[in-house]
Chain A
């Protein structure tokens, strides 16, 4: 059966899995989906307090700067962590019923993406409150929004495959994410840390390349086409590689789960 035909048959399952992730996440919390917005708002407040009040680096729109970086990074971080565990957590089903296995990492990334899109409402509100108003450049926001999904999916496919065979990938990935977080310029401006020799850290970090253009769109600046191209190429290659590895290994999953 062709891939497209199979996907058509299990499209309903993808929807159900995404719905399940979101539903169960908020089922027992009193505030429900409000948490999606409250959580980034609270972290933004903490970060703004620390970096602008205590360290005195802030401008009026600094909270918007922090929030843009933080929202993208936490989607990437949560999405890849969820995808990493997706195949393992569904071991019971994988062993009993035939379902295209990529559904599991795909669904966990997509459910994170839905939550991420909802949380953008917070960004809109904070931006207006802090005097950052939309311009025509805002239309460019669709590019980083698509790129971050591609990058997360690609990483997720690769990680979920590796996690089947090696359980400690989960902890290694946690460390890698920490490193990534500090090189994404979420709560500092890069011109305050660049010394001339360490610029490559930001130049080659695909997640930072996405954040840059996301910020450009929000702050009404023209896109940086070089990072835009780099992030797209990186995401596409990673996605192809991740999918390839997943497909090559998926028949062995059942033997290791």
Chain B
């Protein structure tokens, strides 16, 4: 990995065991072992994927459903472990995967700011200092003291977005999150992300909206059935991708 790289992926492979019938209790497991019926189907969600992303590059990941986009992001985010190959990254990483997934439903919005913030690794003093800013950006107003279970999905996403984008990350992972909230909030969140772009943040971006991809990214990776099909400038790859998928 060179000095200038933000993310390096080498021969990455991720294998899942799909057991033909899901065995999730000890009783079944013992019976199957005794009857020699433990069979697994192997499934490679990603295979032989290699690329290197320089600092400040904005990379789109294209592919149809099930191509391995989310798996790739999860491996880079450190949630999922690679079966083979190596992933190295340098710098503070903020994953915006499904906003608000770490919220506790019983907790109020305010309490969730501290909980979710802690989950992203922020110290308490920092969260206390930024508290008002988060509440203001999320536009939740007095709803901040209401349990999150009573929030609409838009409100939840707004709060999640406001907490996650609190720091200027060096690597930002965006998985279909630019479509949160209403028109007004979408505009606002897009602006916030564009601000980050100016500060030489490395971005990994998954979206099915090719126009958005072209306007935000400089480079694109095209995945198909877990393999890297093409890697190049965004205009070229999106054009090939569009041709291949619309015919």
Residues of A with Cβ closer than 8 Å to B?
A: 9-10, 12-13, 15-17, 20, 23-24, 27, 92-99, 165-169, 172, 251, 254-256
Contact = CB atoms under 8 A, between A and B. Distances in A.
Interface in B30-83: 74, 77-81
B197 interface: no
A97 B17 contact: no
A13 B98 contact: no
B106 interface: yes
Q: Top 10 nearest A-B pairs by Cβ distance? A: A98-B78, A96-B101, A13-B118, A251-B81, A166-B26, A168-B25, A16-B118, A12-B118, A93-B102, A167-B25
B131 interface: no
Given A15-B118, A16-B115, A98-B79, 8 more contacts: A15-B124, A16-B114, A20-B107, A93-B101, A93-B119, A98-B77, A166-B29, A169-B26
B123 interface: yes
Interface string B116-133: 001111111000000000
B32 to A, nearest CB: 12
B80 A254 contact: yes
Nearest to B80: A254
Given A15-B118, A166-B25, A168-B27, A97 B79 contact: yes
A96 B29 CA distance: 28
Interface residues of B, number: 31
Contacts, number: 75
B102 A92 contact: yes
A153 to B, nearest CB: 21
B176 to A, nearest CB: 13
A254 B107 contact: no
Contact of A255 (B16, B26, B106): B16
A254 B75 CA distance: 12
A85 to B, nearest CB: 14
Contacts of A256: 24
Contacts of A254: 79-81
A172 B27 CA distance: 11
Given A12-B122, A13-B121, A27 B25 contact: no
B226 interface: no
9 contacts: A20-B104, A20-B111, A20-B115, A24-B104, A24-B106, A96-B97, A96-B102, A166-B26, A251-B81
